[in-house]
């Protein structure tokens, strides 16, 4: 729910590769991201826009307002003014918010400050146009903007804004494992080696995976300590005066946030493994890939890898220590600078946030008919697709279906889900771009809309 099960893609390059060589690329490309859970494709594509002149219009559909708020925060970190955060600072802040249930104190302070700025963005259109012109909130209903305002208020430290994420996480682990809870480390190890690594996610190391399954903290470094709850994981928020109730933590607790940025990278030496022991963790690969995105977004130039930009802890068992404040939540107000300077300019993209109701209604709206050149559909939202979903496709559209290949599901479950995608694509007369003849696992299956074949 909070992250995807496929690698970040440069969607412009994917679209260009899907078209015939003699086809002229349009000046603008409309991209629908249907329930992706995180902004990985937006950021990866935006980071590469300096290489072409095509404008990318992203339209994001999520199933709950809390995910809209979280996506907005993660993108705000990526586009933060370089005078306020360094590249390394952005990288580690993004990783902290993206994958850790407990945060560094600095990350908590940033969220407290940014929550006030994000509130102004959704309530003041002139301010939004000045600070963050890449965002458009016109697709959100007023009640959803009010809910967003409540979410941002909940993120700010207050004695009545309680979210004990460690207890919520432990309760879910206990409920899932049942009588196996006392032997949970063995269960975690089995899920990693017999499921995730067998399914293709070989970069994930035992020490980082088991620590994440135990605590909800995926990305750790020796120089940092996590002590504050990550309130962006709270869903089902309901406000009662100054107090809030919530459903707690929902979504994935078996695969982890490693797939989006931590599976592959251009440098083969970073994915080297000896007897099943990786030189670099998935955390280290994630650090490398996010640093590249942050660099290219800011510098508008190709990133050249430097070993000093990332850590190398694949073969080490780190002493991550015990959780700080596991049984408490920080409630005192924090006094920090206001991160309200103009975002990094990126005229080549526009990010439109659509209503959560569009999960079920978008294919029936006439203003979305034949609009999208690229459609990316998450595995969790595949069941929401209807027969008339193809009305959204433009001529020669690229359609990307996320599979559950890089997850902890069994091979039989993965095969059944992939078969459903193939059957649906056949019914919609989509032309496969993925070569299924090659015995290779795919986290994304690609098709091209070809109405002339009907």
| CA atoms of 202 and 193, how far apart (whole Å) | 9
Asked if 29 and 55 touch (Cβ cutoff 8 Å), the reply is yes
Strand 28-34 relative to strand 55-61: parallel, antiparallel, unpaired? parallel
318 pLDDT exceeds 80?
no
| CA atoms of 107 and 97, how far apart (whole Å) | 7
* Three-state secondary-structure class, residue 146: helix
What pLDDT score was predicted for residue 242?
A: 81
321 pLDDT exceeds 60?
no
Residue 239: φ, ψ to 5°:
-95, 140
315 pLDDT exceeds 80?
no
Reported confidence tier of residue 166, pLDDT bands at 50, 70, 90: very high
What six digits make up the tokens of 137? Answer: 């909130």
C-alpha angle with apex 81: 163 to 217, nearest 5 degrees?
Answer: 30
pLDDT, mean of residues 243-260? 91
**Which pLDDT tens digit goes with each residue over 352-383?**
999 999 999 999 999 999 999 999 999 999 99
What pLDDT score was predicted for residue 276?
A: 82
What pLDDT score was predicted for residue 454?
A: 46
Percent of the chain with pLDDT over 70: 94
pLDDT, mean of residues 111-120? 95
pLDDT, mean of residues 409-415? 96
453 pLDDT exceeds 70?
no
What pLDDT score was predicted for residue 325?
A: 64
264 pLDDT exceeds 70?
yes
pLDDT, mean of residues 7-12? 97
List, in order, residues 6 or more apart from 218 with CB less than 8 Å away.
Answer: 99, 100, 208, 212, 256, 257, 258, 283
What pLDDT score was predicted for residue 224?
A: 85
Strand 228-229 relative to strand 102-103: parallel, antiparallel, unpaired? antiparallel
**Which pLDDT tens digit goes with each residue over 136-147?**
999 999 999 999
For tokens 């595995």, what's the residue? 379
Average pLDDT along the chain = 92
**Which pLDDT tens digit goes with each residue over 65-103?**
999 999 999 999 999 999 999 999 999 999 999 999 999
* CB burial of residue 276 (10 Å; 0-12, 13-18, 19+): exposed
Percent of the chain with pLDDT over 90: 77
C-alpha angle with apex 117: 111 to 123, nearest 5 degrees?
Answer: 130
183 pLDDT exceeds 70?
yes
pLDDT, mean of residues 307-322? 72
């Amino acid at each position: 729910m909070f992250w995807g099960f496929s690698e970040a893609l440069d969607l412009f390059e994917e679209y260009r590769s899907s078209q015939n060589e003699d086809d002229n690329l349009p000046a603008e490309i409309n991209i629908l991201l249907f329930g992706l859970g995180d902004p990985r494709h937006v950021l990866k594509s935006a980071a590469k826009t300096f290489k072409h002149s095509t404008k990318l219009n992203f339209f994001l559909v999520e199933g709950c307002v809390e995910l809209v708020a979280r996506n907005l925060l993660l993108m705000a970190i990526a586009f933060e003014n370089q005078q306020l955060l360094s590249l390394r600072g952005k990288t580690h802040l993004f990783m902290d918010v993206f994958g850790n249930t407990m945060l560094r104190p600095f990350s908590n302070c940033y969220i407290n400050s940014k929550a006030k700025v994000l509130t102004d963005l959704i309530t003041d259109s002139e301010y939004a146009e000045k600070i963050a012109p890449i965002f458009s909130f016109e697709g959100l209903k007023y009640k959803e903007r009010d809910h967003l305002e409540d979410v941002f208020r909940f993120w700010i430290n207050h004695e009545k804004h309680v979210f004990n994420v460690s207890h919520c996480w432990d309760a879910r682990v206990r409920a899932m494992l049942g009588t196996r809870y006392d032997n949970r480390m063995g269960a975690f190890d089995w899920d990693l080696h017999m499921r995730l690594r067998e399914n293709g996610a070989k970069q994930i190391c035992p020490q980082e995976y088991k620590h994440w399954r135990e605590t909800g903290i995926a990305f750790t470094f020796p120089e940092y300590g996590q002590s504050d709850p990550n309130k962006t994981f709270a869903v089902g928020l309901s406000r009662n005066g100054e107090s809030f109730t919530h459903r707690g933590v929902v979504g994935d607790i078996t695969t982890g946030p490693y797939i989006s940025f931590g599976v592959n990278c251009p440098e083969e030496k970073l994915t080297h493994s000896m007897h099943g022991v990786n030189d670099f963790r998935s955390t280290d690969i994630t650090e490398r890939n996010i640093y590249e995105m942050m660099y290219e977004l800011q510098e508008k130039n190709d990133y050249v890898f430097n070993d000093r930009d990332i850590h190398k802890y694949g073969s080490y068992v780190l002493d991550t220590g015990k959780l700080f404040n596991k049984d408490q939540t920080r409630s005192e107000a924090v006094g920090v600078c206001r991160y309200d300077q103009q975002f990094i300019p990126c005229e080549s993209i526009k990010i439109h946030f659509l209503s959560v109701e569009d999960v079920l209604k978008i294919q029936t709206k006439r203003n979305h008919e034949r609009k999208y050149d690229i459609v990316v559909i998450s595995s969790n939202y595949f069941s929401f697709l209807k027969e008339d979903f193809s009305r959204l496709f433009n001529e020669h559209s690229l359609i990307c279906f996320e599979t559950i290949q890089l997850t902890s599901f069994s091979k039989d479950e993965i095969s059944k889900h992939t078969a459903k995608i193939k059957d649906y694509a056949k019914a919609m007369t989509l032309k496969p771009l993925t070569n299924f003849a090659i015995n290779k696992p795919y986290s994304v299956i690609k098709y091209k809309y070809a109405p002339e074949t009907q």
